[in-house]
């Protein structure tokens, strides 16, 4: 087995042996500095994804753009060898990500209204169909407009599920339901359903032969030999859906999504009463990315085993691990609240801050535990947003990011009491005391 590399950098001509600096940079960069630079780049990739989606809706923030430029420049050869400053830049990345998530949320609300809770049918309701995956709500809206009156049914997949909660999208009768769960099941789901498919953004995976001739992407999402929809001209996709004909109908189930800040705030008095009466003991945010690692069974086990006097806020595609569970409600307050896509972490943050106001306490004094599942770089940006808010005692899993070495982990544990998800029942016991 190859030993774990201390670092890896091959971005300049000085690189060791012309192959890569793996122990220490020829420039003098030490492993933790190299890794903190990688960390910063990953967080900036996440910020860029949200920034791009907000820009598509016409929203811009020069502070965010300037941070991205400064952050990238800081990772250039012979610029920044200071670990403390690179941690500070990580925290600034977190702050920039809060700004960009807020901007995207406001842009989504301006375009499509504030989400309202809605029950979404899961399963085929027949019809010639298009399955839409990814995060781009504007793309979905344009597709809904283009397919009106064609008889084509539009189904969401994965992170498109929350689209059903937006009044400006839910008003289309042919937006009929959801097929499948998180991005991880797309090979299975897209093979199973005889529909045309549109990948609007990440996360798309290399298609199987079974559906390679009926998948399209758009914008930044690209797949080898897969046609790209340009300028919202969906005609090739529509033609493909009509050519494929009807999908067989099947029995459907339902899941609920679409909780916005206003809906939760309308429950504020009731939540206060329930907390003061000891009927709600703790709030959890359990969310983030899904992935294929079997250790991700943790998240279902965690939510399933939570005491009945707890409330779970969730978001992003990690929720598909447990969003079929019926957790019921506590005197009208739902115990499982789906806030939307990963960028809707900003709604969870706004709810947490509203609860702080409600109870007159600081963030870390709230009975609130955050349990993050991470897979890709948006989750890195979100982690640093929560660290920038000085949120203590968070759990992260199912594995520690590979670029975090012992020195970085010690810093995160000592400064933020960050914990790695372990055994679900034991973790619950530790949290509930
Ligand atoms: S920047 Fe430094 S660590 Fe990276 S390849 Fe050049 S010499 Fe090596
Ligand atoms: S939440 Fe993360 S993993 Fe899931 S679809 Fe969105 S970007 Fe991909």
Question: Where do the H-state alpha helices sit in 389-432?
Answer: 406-416, 424-432
Structure confidence at residue 1 (pLDDT): 54
Pocket test for ligand 1, best of 6, 10, 12 (most atoms within 8 A of CB): 12
Quote the CA–CA distance of 38 and 425 in Å, as a whole number.
34
- pTM for the model stands at 0.97
Question: Which residues' Cβ are closer than 6 Å to ligand 1?
Answer: 9-12, 14-15, 21, 25-27, 29, 77
- 219 ligand 2 Cβ < 6 A: no
| DSSP type of residue 341 | S
**How far does residue 238's CA lie from ligand 2's centre (Å)?**
26
Question: How many Cβ atoms sit within 10 Å of the Cβ of residue 81?
Answer: 15
Structure confidence at residue 4 (pLDDT): 80
Quote the CA–CA distance of 154 and 415 in Å, as a whole number.
47
- 130 ligand 2 Cβ < 6 A: no
Sign of CA dihedral 32, 33, 38, 43: positive
SS3 130: strand
- 49 ligand 2 Cβ < 6 A: no
First to last CA, the chain: 41
Structure confidence at residue 2 (pLDDT): 60
Shortest-distance atom of ligand 1 to CA 13: 6
Taking alpha carbons only, the member of 127, 204, 135, 202 closest to residue 163 is 135
**How far does residue 193's CA lie from ligand 2's centre (Å)?**
22
Token code pair at residue 407:
């020195």
Length of the chain: 433
pLDDT along the chain (433 residues), means of 10: 85 98 98 98 98 97 98 98 98 98 98 98 97 98 98 98 98 98 98 98 97 98 98 98 98 98 98 98 97 97 98 98 98 98 98 98 98 97 98 96 97 98 98 96
Ligand nearest 31 Cα, by number? 1
Q: Whose CA is nearest to atom 4 of ligand 1?
A: 9
Structure confidence at residue 182 (pLDDT): 98
């Amino acid at each position: 087995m190859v030993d774990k590399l201390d670092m890896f950098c091959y971005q300049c001509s000085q690189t060791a042996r012309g192959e890569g600096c793996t122990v220490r940079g020829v420039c003098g960069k030490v492993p933790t500095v190299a890794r903190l630079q990688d960390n910063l780049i990953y967080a900036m990739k996440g910020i860029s994804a949200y920034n791009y989606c907000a820009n598509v809706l016409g929203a811009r923030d020069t502070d965010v753009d300037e941070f991205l430029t400064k952050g990238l420049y800081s990772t250039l050869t012979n610029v920044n060898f200071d670990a403390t400053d690179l941690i500070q830049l990580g925290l600034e990345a977190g702050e920039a990500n809060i700004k960009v998530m807020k901007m995207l949320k406001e842009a989504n609300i301006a375009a499509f209204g504030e989400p309202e809770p809605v029950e979404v049918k899961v399963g085929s309701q027949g019809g010639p169909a298009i399955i839409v995956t990814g995060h781009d709500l504007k793309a979905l809206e344009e597709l809904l407009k283009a397919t009106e009156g064609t008889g084509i049914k539009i189904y969401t997949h994965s992170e498109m599920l929350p689209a059903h909660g937006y009044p400006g999208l839910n008003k289309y009768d042919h937006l009929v339901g959801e097929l499948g769960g998180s991005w991880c099941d797309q090979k299975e789901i897209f093979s199973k359903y005889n529909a045309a498919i549109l990948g609007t953004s990440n996360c798309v995976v290399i298609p199987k032969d079974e559906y390679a001739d009926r998948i399209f992407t758009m914008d930044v999402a690209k797949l080898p030999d897969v046609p790209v929809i340009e300028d919202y001209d969906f005609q090739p996709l529509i033609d493909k859906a009509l050519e494929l004909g009807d999908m067989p109908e099947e029995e459907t189930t339902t899941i609920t999504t679409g909780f916005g800040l206003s809906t939760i705030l309308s429950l504020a008095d009731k939540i206060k009463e329930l907390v003061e009466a000891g009927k709600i003991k703790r709030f959890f945010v359990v969310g983030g990315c899904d992935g294929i690692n079997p250790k991700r069974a943790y998240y279902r086990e965690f939510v399933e085993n939570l005491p009945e006097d707890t409330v779970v806020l969730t978001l992003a595609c990690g929720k598909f691990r447990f969003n079929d569970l019926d957790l019921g409600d506590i005197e009208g307050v739902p115990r499982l609240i789906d806030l939307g896509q990963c960028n809707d972490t900003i709604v969870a943050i706004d709810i947490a801050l509203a609860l702080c106001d409600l109870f007159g306490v600081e963030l870390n004094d709230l009975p609130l535990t955050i349990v993050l599942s991470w897979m890709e770089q948006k989750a890195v940006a979100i982690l640093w947003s929560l660290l920038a808010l000085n949120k203590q005692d968070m759990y992260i899993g199912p594995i520690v990011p590979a670029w975090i070495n012992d020195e970085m982990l010690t810093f995160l544990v000592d400064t933020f009491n960050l914990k790695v998800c372990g055994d679900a029942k034991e973790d619950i016991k530790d949290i509930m005391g």
